[in-house]
């Protein structure tokens, strides 16, 4: 019924190229019209706490124990104690003093921005992550240019809602049925703004920081020698569309800032395809430059913009674009459920000819309509991107504005609204593009990707047996590595601290004494192996420790960011780096061989990122209603992803057997 009604309305809108009141209406222009202003809770968010120095030292020692020999532990303990009683106290006092003078932000915010922007490593694989969206099962909405149009419209509806303060505030509801209600919003509306966050806590609803949201659109990372910068053009009216390496500026907002009608946006995208069909693929695909080492790209850009025409086009049409849409061709691959790796690898990094990795957000749309987001990471974290990703998916499913039946408004020849970006390219730039292409191709060719879908562990199974899904997955990673490589290594799980003003992330260290004890126990010969009941008790202890560490991290009580900020303070003050940072323990725990990240979302088909160290494993994972999944990236001849995946499947089997046996023995 709903879909029929939408089609009737859309056929009317799309056959009328002139401006109508329908497209100016709130229903079309805004994704949400929240009763609470978007930034309602921002002022009252608590500040990110700086942990006590003794607590950070204690947590560091505890986290490094599984990685060290007894002799190394003793040496580390001595060095940490000297740090705690000496230079650590001085640095901690300076950090506290600086934090007290900057109450508008958090102690980690600026150092974290600096860390990202100063790193000279290429963005693809090292920083830019990938989120792949589930497809639309309805063929009339999955076709590439149709899906692109609907995604663009939904993106703009999200953006306009955010700008107008009409996007729902980001709130984590412990029990959505009780708190994500109109009654909750009425109570919040009358709560004094200065205390609104604390009033929300009474409903077990936790407002999250939204300071990163304004950089979702119109933001670009500009390469500079030594340290990049972020530039923003929030009033732009166009997007950047890429096709076979060619670049087009496409207006999607009118002169008053209203979203153009669906038929107009569809017509402009089709005009891009028509223009592109009449050309050869770009012989010098400039987007490849954004895949390069940052100082090399900065030098190339400096030369490139010495041409005033290039400088104007790059700044006005590319850097200022609201976001980037990359329309890939058949030659770039389509999604295959039974062989996902080629397309996922292409979307994560690929040949870089049809990408502009410096944009805050890029929508990648394959020839079959498979859609992914590849985002530049310095400006923000998963919370803001995942909110956008989820809203985009829901909106395009619930009310797509065009279909394959929509009559578009022709835009061929309308070069004021569909502008091919034609730069003047000299031999130096051609050479730089060729060099960047070869370097990126070498890195990407060296990347391996392995996928595992394990059906016997899933959300219902975990609920049935009273297990923490995340803890079970992380324990499986530790067991998989121990089985395959006979040891324990630095392991990383990202945890958001967005419950605090300008919070970013904290590291949760999933390799613990509890996980080590379980791994050693379950790998004992049968005659000396503990019983299923005893092993299940150890699993429960792993979950308890994991849960406590996760809670501490989310509450800003981890140790990684605190120690990072103390070292940053020493560098800023010209103080020699303390011995703690030269210990084997510090080096080993920060050599993140196992780097993991999960995003819980019903919209997510897959998520991936590159290894953070050359001999490491980049593990994007999720636990769904019917399986647990992991996508593991490695570099060839550095680490073997296939060996790890096979060991992970074996680890899942072992843990499942323990759970089932222990449950059977209780009956």
The predicted structure's pLDDT at residue 25: 84
Distance CA(536)–CA(527), nearest Å, equals 18
Alpha-carbon distances, residue 477 vs 42, 156, 460, 493, 511 (angstroms): 37, 39, 20, 11, 9
Catalytic residue numbers, as ranges: 377
Q: The CATH number of the domain where 389 resides is what?
A: 3.30.559.70
- The DSSP 8-state label assigned to residue 259 in this structure reads B
Distance CA(412)–CA(395), nearest Å, equals 29
Question: Is residue 116 a part of any domain in this protein?
Answer: no
Residues 92 and 140 in one domain: no
Question: Is residue 68 a part of any domain in this protein?
Answer: yes
- The DSSP 8-state label assigned to residue 381 in this structure reads -
The predicted structure's pLDDT at residue 421: 98
State the Rg of the chain over Cα: 26
The predicted structure's pLDDT at residue 382: 86
What is the count of structural domains for the chain? Answer: 3
**Structure pTM?**
0.94
Distance CA(8)–CA(251), nearest Å, equals 26
Question: Is residue 482 a part of any domain in this protein?
Answer: yes
Contact 602, 623 (CB under 8 A): no
Question: Is residue 441 a part of any domain in this protein?
Answer: yes
Question: Is residue 357 a part of any domain in this protein?
Answer: yes
Residues 388 and 506 in one domain: no
Residues 451 and 435 in one domain: no
Question: Is residue 100 a part of any domain in this protein?
Answer: yes
Q: The CATH number of the domain where 536 resides is what?
A: 3.30.559.10
Residues 245 and 387 in one domain: yes
Residues 574 and 437 in one domain: no
Residues 540 and 612 in one domain: yes
The predicted structure's pLDDT at residue 19: 38
Distance CA(616)–CA(634), nearest Å, equals 6
Residues 290 and 191 in one domain: no
Question: Is residue 81 a part of any domain in this protein?
Answer: yes
Residues 482 and 438 in one domain: no
Question: Is residue 553 a part of any domain in this protein?
Answer: yes
Residues 312 and 342 in one domain: yes
Q: Which residue numbers in the chain have pLDDT < 70?
A: 1-22, 665-667
Task: List strand residue ranges (DSSP E) for 114-191, in order.
Answer: 130-133, 171-173
Query: Domain limits at 189?
Result: 171-207
The predicted structure's pLDDT at residue 667: 59
Cα(first)–Cα(last) distance of the chain, in Å?
49
Residues 320 and 429 in one domain: yes
Q: The CATH number of the domain where 201 resides is what?
A: 1.20.1280.180
């Amino acid at each position: 019924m709903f879909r029929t009604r939408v089609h009737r309305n859309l056929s009317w809108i799309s056959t009328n190229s002139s401006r109508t009141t329908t497209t100016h209406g709130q229903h079309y222009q805004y994704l949400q019209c929240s009763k609470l202003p978007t930034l309602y809770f921002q002022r009252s968010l608590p500040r990110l706490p700086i942990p006590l120095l003794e607590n950070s030292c204690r947590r560091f020692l505890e986290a490094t124990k599984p990685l060290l020999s007894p002799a190394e532990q003793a040496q580390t303990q001595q060095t940490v104690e000297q740090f705690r009683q000496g230079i650590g106290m001085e640095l901690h006092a300076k950090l506290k003093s600086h934090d007290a003078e900057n109450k508008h932000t958090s102690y980690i915010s600026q150092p974290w921005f600096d860390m990202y922007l100063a790193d000279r490593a290429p963005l693809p694989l090292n920083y830019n992550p990938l989120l792949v969206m589930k497809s639309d099962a309805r063929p009339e909405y999955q076709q590439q240019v149709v899906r692109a149009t609907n995604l663009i419209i939904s993106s703009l509806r999200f953006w306009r809602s955010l700008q107008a303060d009409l996007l729902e505030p980001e709130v984590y509801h412990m029990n959505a049925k009780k708190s994500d209600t109109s009654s909750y919003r009425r109570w919040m509306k009358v709560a004094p703004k200065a205390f609104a966050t604390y009033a929300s806590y009474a409903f077990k609803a936790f407002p999250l920081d939204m300071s990163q949201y304004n950089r979702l659109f119109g933001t670009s990372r500009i390469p500079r020698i030594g340290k990049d910068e972020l530039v923003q053009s929030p009033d732009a009216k166009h997007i950047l569309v890429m096709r076979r390496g060619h670049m087009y500026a496409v207006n999607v907002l009118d002169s008053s800032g209203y979203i153009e009608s669906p038929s107009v946006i569809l017509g402009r995208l089709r005009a891009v395809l028509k223009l592109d069909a009449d050309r050869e693929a770009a012989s010098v695909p400039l987007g490849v430059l954004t895949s390069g080492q940052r100082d090399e790209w900065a030098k190339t850009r400096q030369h490139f913009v010495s041409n005033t025409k290039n400088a104007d086009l790059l700044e006005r049409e590319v850097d200022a674009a609201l976001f980037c849409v990359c329309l890939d061709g058949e030659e770039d691959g389509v999604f295959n459920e039974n062989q996902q790796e080629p397309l996922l690898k292409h979307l994560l990094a690929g040949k870089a000819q049809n990408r502009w990795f410096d944009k805050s957000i890029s929508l990648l749309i394959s020839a079959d309509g498979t859609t992914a987001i590849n985002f530049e990471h310095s400006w923000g974290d998963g919370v803001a991107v995942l909110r956008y990703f989820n809203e985009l998916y829901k909106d395009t499913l619930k009310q797509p504005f065009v279909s394959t039946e929509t009559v578009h408004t022709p835009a061929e020849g309308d070069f004021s609204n569909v502008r091919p970006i034609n730069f003047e390219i000299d031999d130096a730039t051609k050479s730089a593009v060729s060099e960047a292409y070869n370097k990126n191709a070498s890195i990407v060719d060296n990347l391996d990707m392995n996928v595992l879908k394990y059906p016997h562990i899933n959300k219902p199974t975990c609920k049935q047996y009273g297990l923490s899904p995340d803890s079970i997955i992380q324990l499986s990673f530790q067991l998989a590595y121990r089985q395959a490589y006979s040891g324990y290594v630095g392991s990383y799980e990202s945890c958001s601290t967005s419950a605090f003003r300008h919070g970013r992330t904290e590291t949760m260290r999933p390799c613990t004494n509890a996980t080590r004890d379980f791994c050693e126990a379950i790998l004992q010969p049968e005659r000396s192996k503990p019983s299923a009941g005893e092993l299940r008790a150890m699993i429960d202890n792993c979950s308890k420790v994991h849960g406590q560490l996760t809670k501490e991290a989310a509450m800003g009580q981890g140790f990684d960011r605190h120690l990072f900020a103390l070292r940053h303070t020493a560098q800023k003050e010209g103080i020699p780096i303390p011995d703690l940072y030269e210990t084997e323990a510090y080096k080993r725990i920060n050599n993140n061989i196992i780097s993991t990240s999960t995003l819980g979302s019903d919209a997510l088909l897959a998520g991936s990122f590159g290894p953070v160290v050359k001999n490491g494993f980049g593990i994007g994972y999720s636990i769904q209603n019917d399986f647990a999944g992991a996508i593991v990236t490695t570099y060839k001849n550095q680490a073997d992803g296939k060996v790890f995946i096979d060991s992970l499947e074996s680890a899942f089997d072992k843990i499942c057997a323990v759970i089932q046996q222990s449950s059977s023995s209780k009956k």
